Amino acid sequence: MAEQAPSVAGSSDYKYEVIRDFFKSPDGEPFGLISRVAADDEDRIYVFQRRDPPVVVFDGKTGKHLASWGRGDVTDPHGLKIIGDTVYTTDRADSVAKSFTLDGKVKLALGTPGQHADTGKVENWLVERAAGPFNHPTEMILHPNGDLYVTDGYRNARVHRFAADGSLKTSWGAPGSDEGQFHLPHSIAYDDEGLLYVADRSNKRIQIFTPEGKFLSQWTGMGGPNDISRGKDGNWYIAEQEDSGDPAYCTVRDKEGNVLAKLASRHVHGIGVDSEGSIYAGMTVDRGVDKFVRVR
């Protein structure tokens, strides 16, 4: 745990003590760029970093290192979500999505390493045309209906839906800023009704879809969303980029999308939340994890 005294962020019912660099890299070397942070059901925190080993696991309460894995299985870590006993990841540059057991054994791999869908010319993450899976995918998640959903964003503009056996069922999305279009779909989550929430980063919005891909609504008024995670409290936790002179934020929204708290942060790329409502902010530039401890 960091030695410096924590600062305080937020207000009212959403007040947090901020502990910078809560976890320490177990091998004594600096962390790599941290793309994602996620908590499992035991409040173990999985840090997804761009160096070997790509997955480093810590005790969320004490900061103690518990395990490391993934060496040789992930070359360019990007998305990581945990559902039950499975870790869902995307390997951006290799255009592969893989699921793992909690201790790092590969369960399923989608895509062929190094083979990328043809989406034409790419300018500022906006592609010329959408295509099938994958071209630099950003996140994978298991839905309660048993299907897998993958956002395919850095050089594509789609969400792909796969059956549990890995067979492609459908895809939707096209490059642009209209409803149902994407400019870098970067993260995905779902609510209790099974609706999908897609972080459409360069359009600075969260789009909401049915499991079949029908556009329903959107949330705006945010910096580009790098990550969206749902807490056990039913609230949404969003990692927002710096925007129009505002800092990066860890933002808490309720089920309807109303802002409950905006916590100024260093540049945050991944956001996780434990069962107590504490937030873990993963940093690419600063290569660390800040913990926002919920104060009750």
- β 96-101/225-230 pair status: unpaired
The answer to whether residue 2 scores a pLDDT higher than 50 is: no
User: Exposure string (b/e) for 190-218, b if CB count within 10 Å is 16 or more?
Assistant: beeeeebbbbbbbbbbbbbbebebebeeb
Burial of residue 80 (CB within 10 Å: 0-12, 13-18, 19+) is buried
7 C-beta neighbours (distance < 10 Å), count = 10
pLDDT of res. 188 = 98
Instruction: Tell me the average pLDDT across 228-235.
Output: 97
Instruction: Tell me the average pLDDT across 181-185.
Output: 98
pLDDT of res. 6 = 64
pLDDT of res. 4 = 54
pTM of the model: 0.96
Instruction: Tell me the average pLDDT across 268-281.
Output: 98
CA angle centred on 46, ends 235 and 158, rounded to 5°: 65
Q: What is the pLDDT of residues 134-152, one digit of tens each?
A: 999 999 999 999 999 999 9
Q: What is the pLDDT of residues 49-61, one digit of tens each?
A: 999 999 999 999 9
Complete DSSP assignment for 153-215: -TT--EEEEE-TTS-EEEEE--BSSSTT-BS-EEEEEE-TT--EEEEEGGGTEEEEE-TT--E
Of all residues in the chain, what percent carry a pLDDT higher than 70? 98
Helix (H, G, I), strand (E, B) or coil at 226: strand
Q: How confident is the model at residue 7 (pLDDT cuts 50, 70, 90)?
A: confident
Q: How many CA atoms lie within 13 A of 232 on its CB side?
A: 16
Instruction: Tell me the average pLDDT across 21-31.
Output: 97
pLDDT of res. 5 = 56
The answer to whether residue 213 scores a pLDDT higher than 70 is: yes
Helix (H, G, I), strand (E, B) or coil at 16: strand
The answer to whether residue 90 scores a pLDDT higher than 50 is: yes
pLDDT of res. 9 = 74
CA distance 165 to 195: 22
Q: How confident is the model at residue 296 (pLDDT cuts 50, 70, 90)?
A: confident
